Structure 1
Amino acid sequence: MHLRNGSYEQAYTDFFEAFKSYDESGSQRRILCLKYLVLASMLMKSDINPFDSQETKAFRDEPEIVAMTRLIKAYQEHNLKEFQTIVDEHKDSIGTDQFVRERLDELIDNVRGEALRKIIRPYISVSIDYLANEINVSVEEVTRLLTQIILDQDSQYRIDQPANILYRSSIEQSQVDRQKVMDTVLERLESMRNNLIQGCY
């Protein structure tokens, strides 16, 4: 329920508690809970690997968990190519689980978004065609991901769709542009004030 509602932290806590309870009772459902625990961890974009905890460490090499172990590693490293390879290689264990399959697109979206952030970081301007090619998606898809990045936090970027280019304006340039606008507004206000004073006489 929490996972489907997007309450990933709550889902993570619940799956962890359920995993511990099933593990103590020796139930095989612990493996399923552990799989969903890893899923919740990825969705909440945690840097902490669930397999680092004492309770889960022993299950790292379980046949049903190996794919999830590799998946979270690729996810946390924002390694899109490796992530996609693991998903393709383990379609039987990952793709057949409806619960995981429901969130797979969101996970891939997140990895693509993070990979894109890494690629664009050093550029002042970069071709959208180049970015689409780098993460192996269509121009429309990369534009959608870039728009999401801009809306999320990186407002210094802007997309020039006719030219098909992503631009980044430096903070200094943005401040200069803001100052110019403020100067223009102040000049107009001063001019209006002078006109009003002259009109009174």
Structure 2
Amino acid sequence: MSDDDDFMQDSDQEDYDFEYEDDDEEQGGDVNIENKYYNAKQMKIDNPEEAVDEFLAVPGLEPEKGDWGFKGLKQAIKLEFQLKRYVQAVEHYRELLTYVKSAVTRNYSEKSINNMLDYIEKTAEDDAANSCIEKFYHYTLESFQSTNNERLWLKTNIKMARLWFAQKNYQELADKLRELHKACQKEDGTDDPSKGTLSLEVYALEIQMYAETRNNKRLKVLYQRALRVKSAVPHPKIMGIIRECGGKMHMSEENWKEAQSDFFESFRNYDEAGSLQRIQVLKYLVLTTMLMRSDINPFDSQETKPYKNDPRIAAMTNLVDAYQRDDIHEYEKILQDNKDLLADPFIAENIDEVTRNMRTKAVLKLVAPYTRFTLAFISKQLKISLPEVQDILGLLIVDKKLRGKIDQQSGTVEVESNTDTDRVNAVREWSSAIGALWVTVLHEGDGFRSEEGSGYLGGGYVTPNQPGKASNGVGTRMRPGGKAKGYSGKQPGVGSR
């Protein structure tokens, strides 16, 4: 489904084609009426103003209201909306609604009206258009209230609620959502399984409203409730919206893992729906990966890999690459060259935490060789302000990641170096380890054995400076015949035989 398709549709495949939506329908009526209608269709692209007049003339040629008049009014209304003739469009739409009770079948009228409302919703560009759309919704509800067409009533009310959400008219929206929730429930107040899909659409709108107004407490309740709805087969874009709002909710709680999971599911659903919002959510997924301080590249998965080289996502791809390489200069350059990234309030709000993490790691790496340095030195090297340098160093000292003191008056930092003490302690530990090894070899090992293997060197061991004994400074074992063998150069603890 393309990006222009309405996400608030059920599983039925509906025809949104503007040019040919009526071509395959059964044709009837007078040949002159038919010819006039198709002649008007030929004029739509090149001369829409004259086409409107031709379409409006079609109903007058019918002796009584019928299919051709209904079709002619539909086409005229769409063109009038395109030409921004909103007053005339509303007037002719009210005339169109008089056909639905007798001139055309219920299913055909419902489908046509729904398509009409979808069309004007997607082509609205200004406040005047939105005002016109609101009148369309009002007259639709008024017309179908008496026909007991609950399905169309619910769909039109959802469209009305979506319009109020776009206008940030939260008071009207909240009242409408309560009415819609009630309509999707049974008499005992429980959710009606037969209206599960419509119910999820209502949940999606309400979740969006609470996400925008930052009411996380209410958002969490609705989010969990929406995920428990099992009786629906929702359009994937609905689930994309619900998961996206859930990811933002988890981000506000600094629950990076759950946020990452929700953004991935949101991206997957948007991608399935063919929605352009998938690109923005993919950026959120990359942002969350950096906040998690994860070394896993978010573009390694099968679903996201095709977008790795997408020019719309290139800035975020380069950003996460610089982040994982701890390249602060490249990271800052990417942000500087892609200011459009910060146009999204959600990214702008959360990228500061990533930037701070990057700068903190860069400060630690930069000052590692020094025992004394100035704040101005750090500021110049990393191209950040002095107050931020001081703030980062203060946090590092508090967290005991840097042992030192800041002299605010002189703007210097003295690092407490324990290098000499550490070296002495290391040598002492090394000497103790060697001594322990020597004791173990002499007392618990095999020691030195005689060549004949008759046991430890003992009574026959000769020490230097004794008369008649070997005096080479190395203990020897006398062999038969008075000859002695030295053991110089042998490693202690290795028996000689």
How far is the alpha carbon of 1:142 from its aligned partner? 0.8
Pair 130,40 (structure 1): closer, same or farther in 2 beyond 3 Å: same
The reply to whether residue 110 of structure 1 matches residue 357 of structure 2 is yes
Q: Secondary structure at the match of 1:51?
A: helix
Q: C-alpha deviations, 1:110-166, integer Å up to 9, x for none?
A: 211111111112223322221121111233221111111223341533334344124
Residue aligning to 1:157: 404
For residues 264 and 390 of structure 2, what CA distance do their matches in structure 1 show?
Answer: 37
Residue 85 of structure 1 aligns with an amino acid whose one-letter code is: K
Residue aligning to 1:131: 378
| TM-score normalised by length of structure 1 | 0.77
Residue 97 of structure 1 aligns with an amino acid whose one-letter code is: D
Residue aligning to 2:281: 33
The reply to whether residue 4 of structure 1 matches residue 252 of structure 2 is yes
For residues 404 and 292 of structure 2, what CA distance do their matches in structure 1 show?
Answer: 25
Q: Is the 8 A contact 1:156 1:171 kept in 2?
A: no
The reply to whether residue 69 of structure 1 matches residue 322 of structure 2 is no
Root mean square deviation of aligned Cα? 2.2
For residues 17 and 168 of structure 1, what CA distance do their matches in structure 2 show?
Answer: 49
Q: Is the 8 A contact 2:263 2:285 kept in 1?
A: yes
How far is the alpha carbon of 1:59 from its aligned partner? 0.5
Q: Is the 8 A contact 1:35 1:65 kept in 2?
A: yes
Q: Is the 8 A contact 2:404 2:413 kept in 1?
A: no
Q: 2:304 aligns with which of 43, 48, 56?
A: 56
How far is the alpha carbon of 1:38 from its aligned partner? 0.4
Residue aligning to 2:390: 143
The reply to whether residue 47 of structure 1 matches residue 301 of structure 2 is no
Q: C-alpha deviations, 1:91-118, integer Å up to 9, x for none?
A: 12x0211110112322222211111111
For residues 287 and 301 of structure 2, what CA distance do their matches in structure 1 show?
Answer: 16
Residue aligning to 1:199: none
For residues 35 and 171 of structure 1, what CA distance do their matches in structure 2 show?
Answer: 44
Q: C-alpha deviations, 1:45-99, integer Å up to 9, x for none?
A: 112111122221110111221110011111222222211211121112x021111
Residue 15 of structure 1 aligns with an amino acid whose one-letter code is: F
For residues 310 and 399 of structure 2, what CA distance do their matches in structure 1 show?
Answer: 37
Pair 20,144 (structure 1): closer, same or farther in 2 beyond 3 Å: same
For residues 366 and 314 of structure 2, what CA distance do their matches in structure 1 show?
Answer: 29
Residue 139 of structure 1 aligns with an amino acid whose one-letter code is: L
Higher helix share: 1
Residue 6 of structure 1 aligns with an amino acid whose one-letter code is: E
Residue 5 of structure 1 aligns with an amino acid whose one-letter code is: E
Pair 47,140 (structure 1): closer, same or farther in 2 beyond 3 Å: same
Residue aligning to 1:81: 329
Residue 399 of structure 2 aligns with an amino acid whose one-letter code is: D
For residues 53 and 119 of structure 1, what CA distance do their matches in structure 2 show?
Answer: 34
- Structure 1 runs of 4+ with >6 Å offset: none
Q: C-alpha deviations, 1:170-195, integer Å up to 9, x for none?
A: 27749x9xxxxxxxxxxxxxxxxxxx
The reply to whether residue 14 of structure 1 matches residue 14 of structure 2 is no
How far is the alpha carbon of 1:32 from its aligned partner? 1.8
Residue aligning to 1:181: none
Q: Secondary structure at the match of 1:47?
A: coil
Residue 386 of structure 2 aligns with an amino acid whose one-letter code is: V
Q: Is the 8 A contact 1:128 1:166 kept in 2?
A: no
* Paired positions, count: 174
Identity, % of aligned pairs? Answer: 41
For residues 65 and 157 of structure 1, what CA distance do their matches in structure 2 show?
Answer: 41
> Where does the alignment leave 5 or more consecutive residues of structure 1 unmatched?
177-201
Q: Secondary structure at the match of 2:415?
A: strand
Q: Is the 8 A contact 1:15 1:37 kept in 2?
A: yes
For residues 28 and 159 of structure 1, what CA distance do their matches in structure 2 show?
Answer: 50
> Where does the alignment leave 5 or more consecutive residues of structure 2 unmatched?
1-248, 425-497
Q: Is the 8 A contact 2:287 2:351 kept in 1?
A: no
For residues 326 and 312 of structure 2, what CA distance do their matches in structure 1 show?
Answer: 23
| TM-score normalised by length of structure 2 | 0.33
For residues 421 and 385 of structure 2, what CA distance do their matches in structure 1 show?
Answer: 31
Q: Secondary structure at the match of 1:159?
A: strand
